[in-house]
Structure 1
Amino acid sequence: MMYKTIFKCRYILAVMVFCALGQVRAQKTSFQPGKLWFDNNQRLINAHGGGVLYHEGKYYWFGEHKGEQSNAAWVGVTCYSSADLYNWEDEGVALAVSKDEDSPIVEGSTIERPKVIYNEETEKFVMYFHLELKGRGYEAAHVGIATSDNPAGPYQFIKNGRVNSGKWPSNMTEGQRTSTDKPDDYEWWTKEWMNAIENGLFVRRDFKAGQMSRDMTLFVDDDHKAYHIYSSEDNLTLHIAELTEDYLDYTGKYIRIEPGGHNEAPAIFKKDGRYFMITSGCTGWDPNAARLLTADHILGQWTLHPNPCVGKDAELTFHSQGTFILPVAGKNDAFIFMADRWRPENPIDGRYVWLPILFEDGMHILQWSNQWDLSVFDQLD
């Protein structure tokens, strides 16, 4: 009987070792867009509408924590880390919601599109996010700001509010600034109303209180200047606003892009001195065709181009919506388009679609791939 017991224990131990080795061998070596993606604890990665920071040899993925039946923030912003982009370790909650009902980030508020950048001068990690106050729907249209001494957090909430109150966009004419018409002067969604939007109707409306900020991203340029890019004017117009040297406020310098164009979900990158931005239209939780914009200067004139997606389901951005464009460290001109497949009926099951950005004749394209790895960029090195 003793020998049977010893044999049984050895068998169980062997099975445990085999399973452990199997888990090691199960490390991911490729991306599978739209498939379930698990962290080191074999739990679904819960980082929606996110962005990635690369710092000292490691990637940090920040995103919205979703529940099964709610898109509201009941946990906060989560963080995952990785050395290879395929396998991610759960770093916990980077920015936790508050239990204080007077806090702007109280449980049940809306925290979306978190992005983090690093300030080399202050040695602070700075997080921006779209914030909607609890119980007010999408009326507030605030930006929230938090900081940390460590990339994974915890982040301390600093402030929130509208953007650039009392400041005019640099590409808005004197006639547009001084016009006296008001939103009540127009019937919504008419040609006249759209013309008024293009001429700054909502910028004037929000001039004193500050401009609306919803879907957003952050970008640090080669000269270390940082910019907040966000959907404004009731999601009808994009703004790009320059940040102060500490990345915690605005210089007052900003521009409007595609007034009345109905763009959201901005994601930006720079290649060969040229700026590229992918956005989407506004169709609620449903996907639509991506848009591409380019500029020679980040605060300069932006030009709209056709949908950069090609192939089957290109008109739906492969059933997803962009959130961030990730430069791959150590590879020249290697960028990953990060997108989400939103599932409002079960938010936690929203899937991630990561695709390589490839280039043809100086313009980039997005093409579907069921499975791919970073070797796709080797031809560019």
Structure 2
Amino acid sequence: MALTHDSFRPGQVWLDTEGERIQAHGGSLFFENNTFYWYGENKEKTTPGSGIWHWGVRAYSSTDLYNWKNLGLIIPPVLDDESSPLHPAQKMDRPHILFNEATGKYVCWLKVMGAGSHDTQRSTVLSSDSLLGPYEIVHAGLEPLGMSAGDFDLVVDPDTKKAYYYFEKVHTDLICADLTDDYTDVTGTFSGHFPQPGPPFTREAPAHFARGGVHYLITSGSTGYFPNFSEVASAPDYHGPWTTLGDAHPTDPSGTSFRSQISCIFKHPHKQDLYIAMADRWLPQLPNDMPNVFDSVAAMAQGAPRPEMTPEQAASMGAIMAAGMGENTAIADYVWLPIRFDGEHPIILWRDEWSLDEFEDSSDIITSSVAESAR
């Protein structure tokens, strides 16, 4: 039965037009032929004890951003080869797709942590003649610039069509690397930013967007699936220099980005100055009053004792950890919120409910086959 939504309800269970949970985590939006496409990690089988990290990349389509039709798996899991980067146990994350106007190809990058330790993370690159696939692997086991590459974002300059790859050099800093003309590899030109001694300080989950000639990156700390505070930085160029502006969620007293992690910033092609922060609430079962994980780990890393918990907090946290809830992302939810601007400072405020009608229509509506912000 088709469901009709006419607003966004951050943190609420979001069902597709067939009444099933939307499974497009760590994902992005793509705008093509006046249709929105939402794609991401399919976590429907990622339950405690399953040994399944993902079940491919799933896509959905919509004309209004509220109601989403399930289009199925555009990159299915590979089940008969445990060494394949697409095997469900190989821990594939955060698909990002670019359209290359010169080659006519859709290029998808994946982060693959492997079945064992997460200390070495690699990239897999695929290409297709269609956004919805089928995709063929171009590179597997890629260590760009000889580095272990974690969470990432891809961006294409709307004027030059040059592409850039922002990735976490695992447990150290954030790298901006130029992509080759076909978007399937790095050129060797890169810059490093936000150096840190290691988790939880390391900045991961970069989400890039540009507004009025200013570039922005919103990142999170490194605390696994447990939420922490976001941090926004601005720069005059893709390669910086970057100036840290502070928490993008300044009204959240918990310091957990409203218990979510941003994966993408999408500029609405039909609305004036509307940027939408797409985030995953990976662990909706966490208690609202749980201690801030980042603060606890950061304090201990600097020699402070572990913060005290109330008996209730300790019991709740212990039950979650014992049950293996850290991997129960099959029930993860989404937190989509509009970005407001205080001058040039992006701010994300909580809304129980909001709609596109609150924003003025753009005077320069994008109707081309691929939107400027497509990714």
- How high is the TM-score relative to the length of structure 1? 0.78
Instruction: Give CA deviations for 1:307-355 in whole Å, capped at 9, x if unaligned.
Output: 1213244621001111111111122321100111112352111110000
Matching residue's letter, 2:354: W
Q: Give % identity.
A: 34
Which SS does the other structure have where 1:348 is aligned?
helix
The answer to whether residue 248 in structure 2 is matched with residue 336 in structure 1 is: no
Return the match for 2:103 from 122, 131, 137: 122
Which structure shows the bigger proportion of residues in helix conformation?
Answer: 1
2:123 counterpart residue number: 143
CA distance in 2, matches of 1:221, 1:235: 28
Matching residue's letter, 1:331: K
What are the ranges of 5 or more consecutive residues in structure 1 without an aligned counterpart? 1-19, 166-209
Instruction: Give CA deviations for 1:203-225 in whole Å, capped at 9, x if unaligned.
Output: xxxxxxx1111111111112211
2:65 counterpart residue number: 85
CA 1:224/1:89 → structure 2, altered by over 3 Å: closer, same or farther? same
Matching residue's letter, 1:355: L
1:300 counterpart residue number: 240
1:147-296 maps to which residues of 2 (within 5 A)?
Answer: 147-165=127-145, 210-222=146-158, 223-232=160-169, 234-260=170-196, 262-296=202-236
CA distance in 2, matches of 1:219, 1:125: 13
Which SS does the other structure have where 1:108 is aligned?
helix
1:346 counterpart residue number: 328
Matching residue's letter, 1:325: I
The answer to whether residue 12 in structure 2 is matched with residue 35 in structure 1 is: yes
Instruction: Give CA deviations for 1:94-113 in whole Å, capped at 9, x if unaligned.
Output: 11121223423223111101
What's the RMSD between the two structures over aligned residues?
A: 1.8
Which SS does the other structure have where 2:359 is aligned?
helix
Do 2:339 and 2:347's aligned partners in 1 also have CA atoms closer than 8 Å?
A: yes
CA distance in 1, matches of 2:157, 2:342: 24
Matching residue's letter, 2:121: A
Higher relative contact order (CA 8 A, sep 6+): 2
Do 1:62 and 1:116's aligned partners in 2 also have CA atoms closer than 8 Å?
A: no
1:93-112 maps to which residues of 2 (within 5 A)?
Answer: 93-98=73-78, 99-112=80-93
CA 1:73/1:245 → structure 2, altered by over 3 Å: closer, same or farther? same
Which SS does the other structure have where 1:375 is aligned?
helix
The answer to whether residue 357 in structure 2 is matched with residue 375 in structure 1 is: yes
CA distance in 1, matches of 2:117, 2:56: 18
Per-residue deviation, 1:152:
1.7
2:37 counterpart residue number: 60
Per-residue deviation, 1:290:
0.6
Instruction: Give CA deviations for 1:259-292 in whole Å, capped at 9, x if unaligned.
Output: 1151011101000111011001112221111101
CA distance in 2, matches of 1:279, 1:273: 20
Q: How many correspondences in the alignment? A: 312
CA distance in 2, matches of 1:71, 1:285: 16
Larger Rg: 1
Matching residue's letter, 1:266: P
CA distance in 1, matches of 2:252, 2:219: 19
Instruction: Give CA deviations for 1:197-250 in whole Å, capped at 9, x if unaligned.
Output: xxxxxxxxxxxxx11111111111122111111111x33211111111111111
Instruction: Give CA deviations for 1:44-72 in whole Å, capped at 9, x if unaligned.
Output: 00111111111121111111111223574
CA 1:380/1:121 → structure 2, altered by over 3 Å: closer, same or farther? closer
CA distance in 1, matches of 2:231, 2:265: 14
Do 1:34 and 1:352's aligned partners in 2 also have CA atoms closer than 8 Å?
A: yes
Which SS does the other structure have where 1:378 is aligned?
coil
Which SS does the other structure have where 1:214 is aligned?
strand
1:133 counterpart residue number: 114
CA distance in 2, matches of 1:342, 1:226: 29
What are the ranges of 5 or more consecutive residues in structure 2 without an aligned counterpart? 284-325, 364-375
CA distance in 2, matches of 1:145, 1:158: 5
Do 2:144 and 2:185's aligned partners in 1 also have CA atoms closer than 8 Å?
A: no
CA 1:255/1:71 → structure 2, altered by over 3 Å: closer, same or farther? farther
CA distance in 2, matches of 1:72, 1:139: 19
CA distance in 2, matches of 1:282, 1:71: 22
Instruction: Give CA deviations for 1:130-153 in whole Å, capped at 9, x if unaligned.
Output: 11223x231331011111111122
2:300 counterpart residue number: none
Per-residue deviation, 1:379:
8.1
